[in-house]
Amino acid sequence: MAIQDIYPTALRLLGRPVLVVGGGPVAARRAKGLLDAGARVTVVAPDASPAMAELAGAGLLSWEPRRYGPSDVDGVWFVQTATGDPAVDARVSADAEAQRIWCVNASDHEASAAWTPAVAVVDDVKIAVNAGGDPRRAMALRDAVATALDAGDLPLRRRRASTGSVALVGGGPGDTGLITVRGRRLLGQADVVVADRLGPRELLGELAPDVRVVEVGKTPGHHPVPQAEINRILVDEARQGHRVVRLKGGDPYVLGRGGEEAEFCRHNGVDVEVVPGVTSATSVPAAAGIPVTHRGLAKGFSVVTGHEELSEVPARADHTVILLMGVGQLRDSAASLAQAGLPAGTPVGIVENGYLPDQRVTIGTLGTIADQAEAVGVANPAVIVIGDVVRVSPFAPSHFKTADYSTTAPNKPRTAKTRVLTP
């Protein structure tokens, strides 16, 4: 049978009787697929594999422990034979053909009236692949297509009107490879994208031309689109039947006001999904080789957005403090921590534009970092890390290395993509 002889279609078997002849593992897999389609499955086989026996024991199908007879095909809509005996399979196939019942013959794909494709489901899309009767080839192709759909590399976007929804997608710190698979897939399905200025901006250029991008980006002290207006945009667009993606930098629930947006959507009857992202609080320090916790140096960390909250965190070098959006208040923050008792020699690292081509790292101490930042013009977006964990960074100067942390060998300072300033 040539591939050109195939007319692809899909069977709706909900509530309809089907017959499976055979009780082995292959027959069990086929029976499970038919059950998933809602069919009423009868299995005829002298013996049943553990998988088949389990389905029968659970009452999901009817198993008749005997040999096949010609009358078994009477009144069924579809037949699957997988006995492992080509002669029996051929007889079942011939009996089904005589009654004009579609039959899949697992022993002889060339003689089979129908083929079972390799199937994958991504959201509400079902992919079925036939590959010239070669099941392993079909499975490989199916997996490749499913992976591309999962990753958003193939268009999943609906073209007919549907119920609107909102997805709050955390895009990570900016590198396009750090958005989650789920987030990338939803972005590929979007009709409208409400975008921040941070996050994986390059992905916007991959959207279809008719996808609308609504820019609502904020900078410190400058919010051209107030939060209340962003909330309204999300709900209004969803009520028009659009699939809306709110593409945010980092994680929408980590200092990202995602909770407010989700609450507003739910309050207004709009379905909302939250897709976590890689938060810049921990990922951007990692881009500079700084772990927020490290054996022998720090067992915990705090994330804050300004110097006012610093009175609430432990003022110890073994408790990492991470400042987000803190460049403008860096001098005040350093003074607050020093006043709380943190030593002036505590290491501090600033990572600008983490994971991006213009990433820059500035390393100093609590007593010097404000002057250093001003001297080189440190600017947002930047993450500030305060604590002994900065010593682990490969960007740290050699005299920051101590015997107080457990590594197999001392790190060597690096200068690529970084400016290191020390007192």
| The predicted structure's pLDDT at residue 413 | 41
The whole domain housing 143 covers: 118-150
Pick the closest to residue 175 from 353, 384, 323 (CA basis). 353
Give CA–CA dist 298/85, Å, rounded. Answer: 65
Q: Is residue 419 one of the residues assigned to a domain?
A: no
- Residues 86, 136, single domain; the answer is no
Are 29 and 14 in contact, with CB atoms under 8 Å apart? no
| Residue 379 CA neighbour count, 13 Å, CB half | 3
- Residues 329, 266, single domain; the answer is no
Mean pLDDT, range 204-233, rounded to an integer = 85
Are 423 and 365 in contact, with CB atoms under 8 Å apart? yes
Q: Which residue's entry shows tokens 């609430």?
A: 312
- Beta strands 102-105; 78-81: pairing state: parallel
Q: Which residue's entry shows tokens 């955390």?
A: 170
| The predicted structure's pLDDT at residue 309 | 76
Mean pLDDT, range 216-227, rounded to an integer = 74
- Beta strands 192-195; 243-248: pairing state: parallel
Give CA–CA dist 41/46, Å, rounded. Answer: 16
- Residues 20, 86, single domain; the answer is yes
Q: Please, what is the average pLDDT of the chain?
A: 87
- Residues 224, 294, single domain; the answer is no
Pick the closest to residue 216 from 237, 201, 195, 244 (CA basis). 195
- Residues 242, 261, single domain; the answer is yes
- Residues 375, 388, single domain; the answer is yes
- Is residue 120 pLDDT above 90, yes or no? no
- Residues 69, 104, single domain; the answer is yes
Residues serving a catalytic function are 196, 218
Q: Is residue 160 one of the residues assigned to a domain?
A: no
Q: Is residue 42 one of the residues assigned to a domain?
A: yes
Q: Residue 223 — pLDDT band, cuts 50, 70, 90?
A: low
Beta partners for residue 363, in sequence order: 349
Q: Is residue 413 one of the residues assigned to a domain?
A: no
Give CA–CA dist 222/28, Å, rounded. Answer: 62
DSSP string, 184-249: HHHHHH-SEEEE-SSS-GGGGGGS-TT-EEEE---BTTB-SS-HHHHHHHHHHHHHTT-EEEEEES
Beta-strand ranges (E) seen in 10-164 are: 17-21, 40-44, 62-64, 78-81, 102-105, 118-122, 125-129
Q: Is residue 421 one of the residues assigned to a domain?
A: no
Dump pLDDT digits (tens) for 368-395.
999 999 999 999 889 999 999 999 998 8
Q: Which CATH number do you get for residue 51?
A: 3.40.50.720
Mean pLDDT, range 66-87, rounded to an integer = 94
- Residues 390, 294, single domain; the answer is yes
- Beta strands 40-44; 62-64: pairing state: parallel
Mean pLDDT, range 338-355, rounded to an integer = 92
| The predicted structure's pLDDT at residue 131 | 77
- Residues 135, 112, single domain; the answer is no
Q: Residue 58 — pLDDT band, cuts 50, 70, 90?
A: very high
Q: Which CATH number do you get for residue 238?
A: 3.40.1010.10
Q: Residue 208 — pLDDT band, cuts 50, 70, 90?
A: confident
- Residues 203, 102, single domain; the answer is no
Pick the closest to residue 353 from 304, 287, 277 (CA basis). 287
Mean pLDDT, range 198-217, rounded to an integer = 89
Mean pLDDT, range 268-283, rounded to an integer = 94
Q: Is residue 423 one of the residues assigned to a domain?
A: no
Residues 6 or more apart in contact with residue 377 via CB below 8 angstroms:
none
Give CA–CA dist 90/108, Å, rounded. Answer: 8
| Residue 95 CA neighbour count, 13 Å, CB half | 21
| The predicted structure's pLDDT at residue 415 | 43
Residues 6 or more apart in contact with residue 385 via CB below 8 angstroms:
285, 290, 292, 320, 321, 322, 323, 348, 349, 350, 351
Residues 6 or more apart in contact with residue 367 via CB below 8 angstroms:
334, 338, 344, 345, 423
- Residues 334, 303, single domain; the answer is yes
Omega into 381 within 30° of 0, i.e. cis?
yes
- Is residue 71 pLDDT above 50, yes or no? yes
Asked whether the CA dihedral 61, 67, 73, 77 is positive or negative, the reply is: positive
- Residues 309, 269, single domain; the answer is no
DSSP string, 266-300: HHTT--EEEE----HHHHHHHHTT--SSBTTTBSE
Q: Is residue 21 one of the residues assigned to a domain?
A: yes
- Is residue 409 pLDDT above 50, yes or no? no
Mean pLDDT, range 169-191, rounded to an integer = 90
Dump pLDDT digits (tens) for 276-321.
999 999 999 999 999 999 988 899 999 998 666 788 888 888 899 9
